[in-house]
Amino acid sequence: MRILQVSAEIFPLLKTGGLADIAGALPQALAGAGCEVRAVLPGLPAIRQALLESVVVGQFPTPWGETVGVRLGQLAGVPGGAGLLSAYVLEAPALYDRPGNPYEDAQRRPYADNHRRFAALGWAAAHLAHGLDRAWTPQLVHCHDWHAALAPACLKHWSGAAAAAVPSLYTVHNLAYQGVFDASVFGELGLPPAAFAVDGLEFHGQVSFMKAGLYYADHLSTVSPSYAREIQTPEQGCGLDGLLRARRDHLSGILNAVDEAVWNPATDALISHRYLPERMAGKALCKAALQRHIGLAEQVDAPLFALVGRITGQKGLPLVLAGADEIVAQGGQLLVLGSGEAELEQALQQQSQRHPGRVAVHLGYDEALAHRIFAGSDVTLVPSLFEPCGLTQMYGLKYGSLPLVRGVGGLADTVIDADLATLADHSATGFVFGPFTDAAYQHALRRAFALYRKPAAWARVRQTGMRQPLGWAPAALAYRALYQRLVGP
Ligand code: ADP
Ligand code: GLC
C-alpha cells in the first residue's frame, strides 16, 4: 500500500515535540508492516538541507498566486524502510526559508502567514494524490496535526477531471493546538465558499484548520485510546467534542510507541554508560555523570526526579513548582529540561536559586541532554493536565526512570500504578495520581520516596518497566488495518 505522510516536523531534522518523533519513526515501522510510505514536508531550511539526490517532479499554483515547486529526494537521517525515507519537499522560499521554530519567529510570535504556509502543505498533498508525480501516486493520505489538516478538505473539494477519491486519515496529536485564523484568510485557501460553514471548517466565525481535518478526513485517529474517549467530552474537547462525538464511529485511538533504534539504554551513544535490565551498573554511573554535569550534588542515594518537556500549563509545571520544596525536604533532587512560557521558566529558575545543588533547571532544547536525563534520573515526572499520549513517560520506562504521571490520556494507558496489589503481582511500573491538585501530586511524590527506600522493591518495578514491550510493531499493524479498510479491496 502506498501512503503519503503529511506533517510539518520530522525527527531528527526538525522537532518541537512528540509529533516529530512519531513522524520520524512511523514510515519505517509501516515499511515493516508492508506499506510504502513517502512524506511530504514544507521546505524549511533543516529539511531542505537534508534532502539528498533530489529532482523537481512538478509544481502547482497556490490559491493566492504563488508557485510552489515539489522536489523528491531522500531525507538524510530518516529511515524509511530498506533505505532512507523518500520525501517530497516544497520549494517556496518566501513561505519557508526561515530558520528555527517552524511556527513562530524569534520573539515567539506565530508567523502572520501561517495559514498560507500550511495551506500550501495541504494542497501539495492533494496534488500528489492526483498525479503531480506521475511515477508515484499514494492510495491514502495520512495527515498529522493541524499543520497538515487542510489536506482532507483539499482532497474532498478537488475538482480536476476524472478525480479519483483518495481517502485520508487525520491523526490528532494534540487537540489544543488548532490552527485558528481570522475569517478574512478564508478567501486565500482555495476552497469553495460552502466550506466556510458549520459543516466545514468554520469555527465560531473563524477558520479552523483542525476542524477541516476533523470534518473532512475519511477517518480520524488520535494517539491513545484514553485520549480518543476524552476528546469526546466537553472538558477535554476544546470546543470540538460535539463534532468528535458525531464522528465517533470514524475515530480510533492508536497508542504511540518508542523508536527503539533511538531510545534504548543498551545501545544509546548519547549516554555516558550503557546498561541493560539485567546489568544496571551503568545507570548509577549515568546518574553521577548527570549530577556533575548539571550542578546537582553528586549523591548516589538522593532520588533524582526529572521532567523533560515543553514548559507549558499542559505539562503540569504548576504542580512541579509547588512540589519542589517537598522533594528537597525529603532529600531528593529535581531537574527540569525544557523551554516554553516565560513566567513558568522564571519561576523554575527561582526554585533552582533557592535550592542550589538540589534543584537544577536547564532552559532550552537539548536532545542529547534529554537522553542523559532519562538515563541518569530515578523518576520521570509527567504530571500533565492533559496528555494525548506522552512519550517521555515511555522513555522513562525504557531507561529505568520510573514514571510518575497523572492518570490521563496516554499516561493512563502506559503506566501501571505501584499499589499493594501491583507490587505483589509484579505488574507495577510507576506512580499514577488522579486529581490535578498539589495534594494528589505530592502524595504521589511521597509514595515514590517510600518505595525508593525499599531498594529491592524499587529494582523490581524498574525491571518491569524496562521490559515493557513499547516498540512500534502493534501500532504499525493497527494503522495498516485502518489504511486497508479505507483503501478498500
Ligand atoms: P509533546 O509532544 O506534548 O511536547 P511528548 O512527550 O509526546 O510531548 O514528546 C516530547 C518530545 O520532545 C520527547 O521526545 C522529549 O524528549 C522531547 N523534548 C521536549 N522538550 C525537550 C527539550 N527541552 N530538550 C530536548 N528534548 C525535549
Ligand atoms: C502531542 C502530544 C503528546 C504526544 C505527541 C505525539 O504533542 O502533546 O502527548 O505524545 O503529540 O503524538
Give the residue, by CA position, lying nearest to ligand 1 atom 12.
17
CATH class of domain segment(s) 2-257+472-487? alpha beta
- Any residues with CB less than 8 A from the CB of 206 and at least 6 apart, and which? 180, 181, 182, 183
Query: 348 C-alpha to center of ligand 1: Å?
Result: 18
CA distance 119 to 63: 9
Banded pLDDT at 459 (limits 50, 70, 90): very high
The CA R_g of the chain, rounded to the nearest whole Å, is 23
Minimum-distance ligand 2 atom for the alpha carbon of 388: 9
Sketch the domain layout of the chain as residue ranges.
2-257+472-487, 281-466
How many Cα neighbours within 13 Å face the side chain of 59? 9
pLDDT (tens digit per residue) in 356-402 = 999 999 999 999 999 999 999 999 999 999 999 999 999 999 999 99
Which residue out of 7, 19, 263, 385 has the highest number of ligand 2 atoms within 8 Å of its CB and is therefore the one to mutate?
Answer: 19
Beta strands in 214-266 (DSSP E): 219-222, 251-253
Query: 312 C-alpha to center of ligand 1: Å?
Result: 12
First-last CA distance in the chain: 11
Query: What residues line ligand 1, using a CB cutoff of 6 Å?
Result: 17-19, 21, 308-310, 337-339, 365-367, 370, 389-392
Which residue out of 174, 230, 263 has the highest number of ligand 2 atoms within 8 Å of its CB and is therefore the one to mutate?
Answer: 174
Residues counted in the chain: 489
Q: What does the DSSP assignment read for 229-243?
A: HHTTSTTTSTT-HHH
pLDDT (tens digit per residue) in 395-428 = 999 999 999 999 999 999 999 999 999 999 999 9
> What does the pLDDT average to over 105-126?
96
- Among all bound ligands, the one having the nearest atom to the CA of 175 is 2
Whether 478 has a pLDDT exceeding 70, the answer reads: yes
Q: What pLDDT is recorded for position 489?
A: 83
Q: What pLDDT is recorded for position 165?
A: 87
The owner of cell 509547588 is 322
Which residue out of 146, 171, 173, 311 has the highest number of ligand 2 atoms within 8 Å of its CB and is therefore the one to mutate?
Answer: 173
How many Cα neighbours within 13 Å face the side chain of 32? 13
- Among all bound ligands, the one having the nearest atom to the CA of 382 is 1
The owner of cell 510539518 is 8
Query: 18 C-alpha to center of ligand 1: Å?
Result: 6
Q: What pLDDT is recorded for position 360?
A: 98
Domain pair 2-257+472-487 / 281-466, same fold? yes
Query: 301 C-alpha to center of ligand 1: Å?
Result: 27
Which residue out of 22, 26, 310, 314 has the highest number of ligand 1 atoms within 8 Å of its CB and is therefore the one to mutate?
Answer: 310
What average pLDDT does the structure give for the chain? 97
Q: What pLDDT is recorded for position 159?
A: 76
CA distance 84 to 482: 25
pLDDT (tens digit per residue) in 72-103 = 999 999 999 889 999 999 999 999 999 999 99
Query: 16 C-alpha to center of ligand 1: Å?
Result: 7
State what percent of residues in the chain have pLDDT above 90.
97
Give the number of other Cβ atoms within 10 Å of residue 62's Cβ: 18
Residue whose C-alpha is closest to residue 238's, from 203, 266, 263, 273? 203
CA distance 479 to 484: 9
Query: What residues line ligand 2, using a CB cutoff of 6 Å?
Result: 17-19, 22, 173-174, 223, 256, 387-391, 410
Give the residue, by CA position, lying nearest to ligand 1 atom 17.
17
Task: Write down the pTM of the prediction.
Answer: 0.97
CA distance 423 to 111: 50
Domain 281-466, CATH 3.90.180.10 — does that match?
no
Minimum-distance ligand 1 atom for the alpha carbon of 173: 2
Type of residue at 67: T
Which residue out of 175, 391, 395, 411 has the highest number of ligand 2 atoms within 8 Å of its CB and is therefore the one to mutate?
Answer: 391
- Among all bound ligands, the one having the nearest atom to the CA of 395 is 1
> What does the pLDDT average to over 313-325?
97
Residue 41 DSSP SS3: strand
